[in-house]
Amino acid sequence: RVRVEGRTVLAQIIPAWHTIYEIIQLGEINMRLRNVPGAREVMVENEYVFTEPEGMKGTWHEVFGNDNPVRIEIGMGKGRFISTLAAQNPDINYVGIEKYSSVLLRAVEKQEELQLSNLRFIRMDAENICEVFGAGEVDRIYLNFSDPWPKARHAKRRLTSREFLARYEEILEDDGVVEFKTDNKGLFEFSLEEVGEAGWKLLAHTFDLHNQADMMEGNVMTEYEEKFSSMGNPICKLIAKQGKPEK
Answer yes or no: 208 catalytic. no
Per DSSP, 150 falls in state -
CA distance 123 to 5: 22
CA distance 201 to 37: 44
CA distance 11 to 53: 39
What are the start-end ranges of the H helices in 16-174? 20-33, 39-45, 60-64, 80-88, 101-114, 162-171
Could you tell me whether strands 7-9 and 2-4 are parallel, antiparallel, or unpaired per DSSP bridges?
Answer: antiparallel
CA distance 23 to 35: 19
The CA–CA distances, whole Å, from 205 to 50, 188, 231, 232, 239 equal 33, 10, 22, 19, 6
CB neighbours of residue 39 within 10 Å: 19
Among 91, 147, 174, 175, which one carries the catalytic annotation? 147
CA distance 2 to 118: 43
CA distance 114 to 200: 37
Per DSSP, 183 falls in state S
Task: List residues with catalytic annotation.
Answer: 147
